[in-house]
A and B are shown apart, each in its own frame.
Chain A
Amino acid sequence: MRPLKRRRRAQRGSDPAPSRLSYRLQRLALTPAVRRGFTFGVPLAAIALMGTLTFADEARRDRLFAWIDEARAKIESREEFMVRLMSIEGASDRLAADIRELLPLDFPVSSFDLDLAAMQDAVRTLEAVEEASLRVRPGGVLDIRVTERVPTFVWRSGEELLLIDATGHPVTTIDARIERTDLPLLSGIGADRAAAEANEIIRAAGPILTRLRGLVRIGERRWDVVLDEGQKIRLPELRPVQALEQVLAVDEAQDLFARDVILVDMRVPRRPTVRIRQEAAETLRQVKMTELGDD
């Protein structure tokens, strides 16, 4: 009979069969998940472990960061990246001076240290600047292109005189009207918000432009056109340009403003009213009295 007890030593040599352990290990090694784990997981884990152990020491970590900072600084301070000049284009001398004051850069400075977006925002906050673009030109020049606001009106607002552009945005202040006689005058509260409308009215007022003294915003809703010699046209709230054109047509046909008219009231366009001067009215009345003998 075959011996029932296994004799380990004797069997090992001649038995080609794998032991149960080696059989199971081989099957485990052939399992797809285990195979993947060995080809990718174990190397990754080893690298991660090495990294963790290396950087667990604080002194070593600091040394690495110091080295990184140094290398970074060395690259940033290279001659190729240095900015030495600032050139401002499209701005008046006064605005350019303002911009230079606003951006206090002590050249040379590395282009890595320039925050162009923040600088652009800063330049845009200036009232006189409509649009600004910044770039660092090769050769170490910080190039600032500015589109300046064009003043269109002089606005007398309370005590001060402001220059505003066509959209009503303030550009700058002036000391006396005499400085900018080329620009029409606006006054009244809220005139800046209606600057676009004022622009149209001025454009329509071409024939009487030489006599025009300015526009007055009344009650923040409608315009008065003030001419010299105290003459005034009251324009309606709606369609003021058409009303003005109506008045101008009458003026052209009948020389309205050459007469003793002091006020043309167009507030209700279907019912225009004309006021004449006090003396003229009295003269007219006397003429009527003498001619007709009655009012």
Chain B
Amino acid sequence: MFDLYRSQRAMRAMRQNAMQRGVVAILDIGTSKIACLILRFDPAPAPTDGVGPMAGQSAFRIIGAATTRSRGVRFGEIEAMHETERAIRTAVQNAQKMAQVRVDHVIATVSGGGPRSYGLAGQIELRGAQVAEHDVAEVLSACEMPDIGPGREVLHAQPVNFALDHRSGMNDPRGQVGDMLACDVHMLSVDGHVVENLLHAVKRCDLELAGLASAAYVSGISSLVEDEQELGAACIDMGGGVTGLSIFWRKHLIYADAVAMGGDHVTSDISKGLQISLSTAERLKTLHGGVVATSIDDRDMIELGGETGDFEIDRRTVSRAELIGIMRPRVEEILEEARARLDVAGFEALPSQQIVLTGGGSQIPGLDTLAPRILGQQVRIGRPLRVAGLPEKATGAAFASAVGLCLFAAHPQDEFWDFDILPERNGTRSLRRAMRWFKENW
């Protein structure tokens, strides 16, 4: 736990450094695409009349954006290091060329690695004293560390709730008086090797990692509006290889998970079902795909095409209804799996049960009809917030996590490692206890 504390703090310091320099890159390494955005932080946002800056996103501006087809990534995890490195290089170089600025620091997303959520609770006695900064640090370090399994790393550890005596639901207990300070911490762990590979890939591109965030979490930041985050909502980020889930309540992430299924599986289903190449299947999916068949779809014939040279194979046609018939079960399966994860997380207990679908997969026509049957009535298809300087081509739902990462970079949530925990405090206390025991018994 302490190693992690130190490495995360080092990353925070690097992020501060990058913010001071004013330029930081956002790297969203997904299964189907790699997006790189370059942010410039302005010291003071220009005053606007009317609506003021929303959620702080006016403090930065996107000066460079590039997207490239992802290579060597499966299920959000790096599978072929060199391929991924080349893809990252492509994206970063193009973004740098657009921005005309060299970036040294990147903040990256982790979408794979099997994220697991843990709820932690800790409490300390205050004896009527005012809560100070170090008390908050102490109550956070008083949380009992669960067994997260071998080879797993903590990605986020955010205090989501503070309670002082009988009063709960506090965001900031500092300066208040009480006897007992308790806190709830949401901790997210991912596979350590996935993070290590990501670190390595970024380092191979001469870049320094200044932060890591869960992709599901940052898509939630960008796609959920403030009320939804406050009242309770889930964001389902339907990506290429992984469908990420995040539940927000009181503007905090309280649960995140991932289903290792996504748009690539739909493509491979089409490829297998229609006996066509993956690229053709991808084209069919994006141009003609859907999940709700109507009577006209039976007559809407799609040319499959092909370049085998065999007339019989190359001139095949398929009706749109057939295509939908292949896609729909897989999409249903993904949504059902997501529903199951939400049920496990106790999503019904939240006061509002808004579900927002985002990510590239949410653009399938007819999803707004299909999704309510599985996820309940409060479903909408979400797109990410608009931020300054974002090119039009990067405003779609597929860029939810990239945009969310920008917001996350500008306004990071307090994490466990943001508080100065004195490592010797625990040591001296136990030493003092040992001394007392010694005195009492001898």
Q: Which residues of A contact B (CB under 8 A)?
A: 2, 15-18, 20, 22-24, 26-27, 30-32
Contacts and interface: CB of A to CB of B under 8 A. Distances in A.
Contact of A23 (B68, B93, B100): B93
A26 B68 contact: no
7 contacts: A15-B86, A23-B205, A24-B206, A26-B93, A26-B96, A27-B102, A31-B102
Nearest to A22: B93
Contacts of B86: 15, 17
B188 to A, nearest CB: 32
Given A17-B87, A30-B100, 6 more contacts: A15-B86, A16-B90, A17-B86, A26-B96, A27-B206, A30-B101
Given A24-B206, A30-B101, A30-B102, A18 B96 contact: no
Contacts of B96: 26-27, 30
A17 B102 contact: no
Interface string B222-255: 0000000000000000000000000000000000
Contacts of B206: 23-24, 27
A27 B68 CA distance: 19
B97 interface: yes
B132 interface: no
A23 B87 CA distance: 12
Interface-central residue, A17, A26, A27, A30, by most chain B CB under 10 Å: A17
Interface in B77-132: 80, 86-87, 89-90, 92-93, 96-97, 100-102
Contacts, number: 31
B179 to A, nearest CB: 56
Secondary structure at chain A's binding surface: helix, strand, loop or mixed?
A: helix
Given A2-B80, A24-B206, A16 B102 contact: no
Nearest to B205: A23
Contacts of B93: 18, 22-23, 26
A23 B89 contact: yes
B80 to A, nearest CB: 7
Contacts of A20: 89
Contact of B89 (A17, A30, A31): A17
Contacts of A18: 89-90, 93
A17 B204 CA distance: 14
A88 to B, nearest CB: 71
B329 to A, nearest CB: 31
A27 B105 CA distance: 13
Nearest to A29: B102
Which 3 pairs of residues, A with B, have the shortest CB-CB distance?
A: A17-B86, A30-B102, A17-B90
A85 B92 CA distance: 81
Nearest to B72: A2
A244 B102 CA distance: 97
Contacts of A17: 86-87, 89-90
A15 B96 CA distance: 19
A32 B97 CA distance: 14
A32 B89 CA distance: 20
Nearest to B207: A27
A15 B205 CA distance: 17
Contacts of A31: 102
A2 B205 CA distance: 23
Contacts of A22: 93
A23 B93 CA distance: 7
B89 A16 contact: no
A8 to B, nearest CB: 13
Nearest to A16: B90
B86 to A, nearest CB: 4
Contacts of A24: 206
Nearest to A32: B102
Contacts of A32: 102
Interface-central residue, A2, A15, A23, A26, by most chain B CB under 10 Å: A23
Contacts of B101: 30
Contacts of B89: 17-18, 20, 23
B80 A26 contact: no
Contacts of A16: 68, 90
Interface string B9-32: 000000000000000000000000
Contacts of B205: 23
Interface string B200-227: 0000011000000000000000000000
Nearest to A23: B89
B27 to A, nearest CB: 14
A24 to B, nearest CB: 7
B87 A26 contact: no
A23 B86 CA distance: 10
A16 B91 CA distance: 10
A20 B68 CA distance: 17
Contacts of B80: 2
Contacts of B87: 17
B25 to A, nearest CB: 12
Interface-central residue, B86, B90, B96, by most chain A CB under 10 Å: B86
A261 B96 CA distance: 116
Contacts of A26: 93, 96-97
A274 B92 CA distance: 118
Contacts of A15: 86
Interface-central residue, B68, B87, B89, by most chain A CB under 10 Å: B89
Interface-central residue, B80, B93, B97, B100, by most chain A CB under 10 Å: B93
B238 to A, nearest CB: 26
A52 to B, nearest CB: 33
Interface string B314-347: 0000000000000000000000000000000000
Interface in B331-386: none
A170 to B, nearest CB: 77
A130 to B, nearest CB: 68
Contacts of B68: 16
A260 B90 CA distance: 129
Nearest to A30: B102
B207 to A, nearest CB: 9
A16 B89 CA distance: 10
A24 B101 CA distance: 13
B185 to A, nearest CB: 39
A23 B80 CA distance: 20
B83 to A, nearest CB: 9
Nearest to B96: A30
A223 B97 CA distance: 99
